[in-house]
Amino acid sequence: MPGTLRLSLRHTVAICGLKGREPLELGSAMLAVVGAGVPLPLWRLARRLRGVRGAYEAAFTQAPQGVLVVDGRSLDIVDANPALQRSLGYRLAELRKMPLEQIFSGDGGPPEALLAQLREDPPRLMIETGQRCRSGRFLHVEISGYRLEVGSRILHVLSTRDITMRRRVEAQLLEKQQHLDHLAHHDQLTGLPNRLFLAAHLPGAIEDAKRSGNMLAVLFLDLDRFKHINDSRGHETGDKLLKAVAQRIRTTTRTDDIVVRMGGDEFIVVLKTISSPEQINETASRITEALAAPVLIDGRPLVTTASIGVSLFPRDGSSMGELLRQSDTAMYQAKDRGRNNFQLFSPVMERKLKERIAIESSLRAALQARQLDVHYQPIVDIESHRVVALETLLRWRHPALGFVAPQRFVAVAEETGLIVPIGEFVLERAIEDSARWRAAGAEVVPISVNISAVQLQRSDLPATIARLTRTHRVSPTMLQLELTESTLFERREGHNGESSQDAIGRLRELGARIAIDDFGTGYSSLSYLKRWRVDYLKIDRSFVRDLVTDVSDLAIVEAIIAMARHLNIEVVAEGIEGWQQLEKLRQLGCSYAQGYLLARPVPFDLCHRYLNGQPLDLTCQESVEQALGATGS
């Protein structure tokens, strides 16, 4: 009997209007049962169907969600349940005359999104779109639909669900998420992206550069002496300066470059597409120039500079870690080269850095392990060849590296602050040794000790010297302190807010004498010399070396000696290696000399020959040198 039973359209819709798959399958199954001609008495089937029909009709009309029936071919609205009519504010008759896209469109998608899906005549569909109601109200709806074949007719039954509330909550959550994201990926103070942001974006930028065959540059920027500004002018000023700096860096870079504050006074700039190395130079110069102009903070100008290290992809590395490390290394190189400049990474820098790190860690141990020692080099009166003082020179016998020269480790010790305990060790050894010589009955000469600027800044040097000389009962007048010009003229505040000049003043009050070491290599400022009444000038070896052959060196040395005489300052010439140099210096009126020609630095045990103010026997100098071959001095 197939075909004799016809399900009304309303009936079928009701079947589909029920929740989930089952009613549809039930409906299909029943049709299939009928279609397959199962011997079921027609009257019983009809009765059953009438019962089913009633239930399905109720489900359609009473369903809380909107249900819409659309003709599969014309895409006209065929039916809409009361819930949908209520929600839309249109009656069925009105709806039947309205194009579908007039009701369901918007919500970000194309207005015809629903129509486009229906045109494909899919067995099922699911779409999120907007619903425009008569009142002008706009709802976000989720539409799920099923395709039905009812006889020759194709219908799509669409069930709508109001997801406006869900969307609102989602939007709020998204906004919150974005806010949290922003907080997590940005620096509170400057508003710049932070280290996490960099970690999230730099690898992608490297990948992009790899794909496009471009270069990419990582600039590591560290403000010079920021800690000093922070300490002396207060954190609030420091913060304002950081903000201004961030702003200036941002304005000197392109919008697609990444500018990040890594923390403290460190910034990273990633130049995403570099066509030539000159472009890096340009950007780095632009940044240094932009920073060089004074920043007005609370009406007061503040000058800051930056040291910048640059690493390049692919030349210096292909991972974020490598590029950051290399740019950091290059930044340290920029600091070493006097700050306020930029340096491109080179493998030599890396080797130096590794060596430096090795030195730093073993230097700490060296102090405890008594690997540090002090040697003494005489300072000699040029006329009489009498030893007038002994200069202490630090020596480090490293178990693996062998003899490490002070030039290689003093800078590291200064950077790490280790120079404070090391400097105290040297001072104590010098004072102690002086007391031992005296105890042995020798007539002692003053000891000259090299003092680093960091010692003056980070420790109470006058107090240390007062304590040590008291302990070993040595007069502070037996001490000469060798400071470099930069230490002497440093305007920076040091220990307890005291300036270097004040500390030097207290050292002079104790009775210690002050010498300017390596004179000529720094400021060489006459006016300062006058003001600070130093006792000695030590002319740097670089002027003495070619004194006999280079007329300009001769002129400089001559000028220094004349000037010192005028200011009542004694002159010591450093690094005398030849008789001609010594003779020239004598002719020029230089009082004292120091150098291998006269005496090399020697350990404590070999110093007795330099005590008692006796003249040096320069004829046996060679045998001394041979004896010293084993000491490495």
Q: Which of 553, 394, 586 lies closest to 482, judged by CA?
A: 394
Asked if 453 interacts with ligand C2E (CB under 6 A), we say: no
By rule CB under 6 A, what count of residues binds ligand C2E? 25
CB of 557 to ligand C2E, least distance (A): 15
Asked if 257 interacts with ligand C2E (CB under 6 A), we say: no
Q: Three-state DSSP class for 391?
A: strand
Asked if 122 interacts with ligand C2E (CB under 6 A), we say: no
**Chosen from ligand C2E, Mg ion, none, partner binding at 452 (C-beta under 5 to 8 Å by type):** ligand C2E
* Alpha carbon distance 16, 22 (integer Å): 9
Whose Cβ is closer to ligand C2E: residue 72's or residue 575's?
Answer: 575
CB of 180 to Mg ion, least distance (A): 58
Backbone angles phi, psi at 63, to 5 degrees: -60, 135
* Alpha carbon distance 301, 313 (integer Å): 38
Q: Which of 174, 201, 207 lies closest to 186, judged by CA?
A: 201
Asked if 537 interacts with ligand C2E (CB under 6 A), we say: no
Asked if 517 interacts with Mg ion (CB under 5 A), we say: yes
Interaction mask 591-630, ligand C2E, x per CB under 6 A: ---xxx----x-----------------------------
**Chosen from ligand C2E, Mg ion, none, partner binding at 410 (C-beta under 5 to 8 Å by type):** ligand C2E
* Alpha carbon distance 361, 351 (integer Å): 16
* Alpha carbon distance 287, 308 (integer Å): 9
- 479-484 and 513-519 strand pairing: parallel
* Alpha carbon distance 616, 518 (integer Å): 24
CB of 576 to ligand C2E, least distance (A): 6
CB of 573 to ligand C2E, least distance (A): 10
Part of the chain binding Mg ion (CB under 5 A), chosen from 97-105, 247-255, 511-519, 588-596: 511-519
**Chosen from Mg ion, ligand C2E, none, partner binding at 253 (C-beta under 5 to 8 Å by type):** none
CB of 490 to ligand C2E, least distance (A): 14
Asked if 405 interacts with ligand C2E (CB under 6 A), we say: yes
Sign (positive/negative) of CA torsion 484, 402, 329, 417?
negative
CB of 424 to ligand C2E, least distance (A): 10
Q: Enumerate residues 472-491 that contact Mg ion by CB under 5 A.
A: 482
Contact with ligand C2E (CB under 6 A) among 74, 135, 152, 407? 407
**Chosen from ligand C2E, Mg ion, none, partner binding at 394 (C-beta under 5 to 8 Å by type):** ligand C2E
**Chosen from Mg ion, ligand C2E, none, partner binding at 424 (C-beta under 5 to 8 Å by type):** none
Q: Which two structure tokens, joined as six digits, stand for 388?
A: 């007038």
- 153-162 and 138-150 strand pairing: antiparallel
CB of 598 to ligand C2E, least distance (A): 8
CB of 290 to ligand C2E, least distance (A): 36
Asked if 162 interacts with ligand C2E (CB under 6 A), we say: no
Part of the chain binding ligand C2E (CB under 6 A), chosen from 69-77, 230-238, 569-577, 608-616: 569-577
Whose Cβ is closer to ligand C2E: residue 218's or residue 461's?
Answer: 461
Q: Enumerate residues 372-401 that contact ligand C2E by CB under 6 A.
A: 377, 392-394
Q: Enumerate residues 412-441 that contact ligand C2E by CB under 6 A.
A: 419, 423, 426
CB of 512 to ligand C2E, least distance (A): 15
Q: Are 281 and 310 in contact (CB under 8 A)?
A: no
DSSP symbol at 444:
-
Asked if 202 interacts with ligand C2E (CB under 6 A), we say: no
Backbone angles phi, psi at 596, to 5 degrees: -60, -30
Q: Enumerate residues 563-602 that contact Mg ion by CB under 5 A.
A: 574
- Look up tokens 């060679």; give the residue: 622
Q: Which of 429, 515, 436, 498 lies closest to 461, judged by CA?
A: 498
* CA 615 to chain CA mean position, Å: 58
Q: Enumerate residues 425-454 that contact Mg ion by CB under 5 A.
A: 450
CB of 572 to ligand C2E, least distance (A): 10
Enumerate long-range contacts of 329-338, CB under 8 Å, 24 or more apart: 329/353, 330/220, 331/220, 331/221, 331/222, 331/307, 333/309, 334/307, 334/308, 334/309, 335/222, 335/224, 335/307, 336/411
Residues forming beta bridges with residue 392, ordered by sequence position = 376
Contact with ligand C2E (CB under 6 A) among 577, 603, 613, 618? 577
CA distances 421 to 138, 209, 416, 464, 474, Å, are: 76, 49, 11, 11, 20
**Chosen from ligand C2E, Mg ion, none, partner binding at 457 (C-beta under 5 to 8 Å by type):** none
DSSP symbol at 626:
H
In which region does residue 363 sit, left (phi positive, over 0), alpha (psi from -120 to 50) or beta (all else)? Answer: alpha
CB count in 10 Å sphere of residue 416 = 16
Contact with ligand C2E (CB under 6 A) among 190, 450, 457, 487? 450
Q: Which residues bind ligand C2E (CB under 6 A)?
A: 377, 392-394, 405-407, 410, 419, 423, 426, 450, 452, 482, 517-518, 541, 574-577, 594-596, 601
